[in-house]
Amino acid sequence: MQTLKIKDRAFKITLATISEKIENNGKKRWNLKIETEGEKYNDIMWAPSITGENMLVSAPELESIVGKEVEIKEAYNQEGQEYMLIMYVFEHHDTRENKIKFLSKNGNKLLVDWTGKCDIFWNDEYGENVPFSVEAELEITEFNLVLPTTDYITNN
């Protein structure tokens, strides 16, 4: 079963995707998205999601990352001045100490094992630096080429 675990709480994954966009300068950026089915704990609905946005990638092809691990200690991207890896439970918070293992590829699915820490700020037990893990098959979706902003006809 595909699951997102936050400490000892497990959530069934309902959506797991990875997409790539290629910028006009040739750089590749990936987006990961994981959504879960809600679960009630103490009469409060938890439906966590986790996203990885605009992650700069040096791999030439998606297949070349199989068997590799990516470590991202801090979720903040200094180059783009934005948060790349975000967990949502009750509010959005960045994740830390991310390790994403790309285990295998089967057709349009990419099996990943992702661990890290995040802040929930729910109570003492689910406050700061709460461990999480993801076991999921990411569906490979839209691969987009981002066109340059210059108008080719007028060069503006």
Is the sign of the CA dihedral 70, 72, 76, 78 positive or negative? Answer: negative
Among 51, 96, 99, CA closest to 71: 99
Looking at 75-79, 113-117, 144-148, which range is the least confident one? 144-148
Whether the pLDDT of residue 45 is over 90: the answer is yes
> pTM of the full predicted structure?
0.83
Distance of CA 80 to the CA centre of its chain: 16
Pairing between β-strand 92-106 and β-strand 109-118 as defined by DSSP bridges: antiparallel
The C-alpha torsion from 7 through 89 and 4 to 68, rounded to 10°, is -100
Classified as helix, coil or strand, 66 is coil
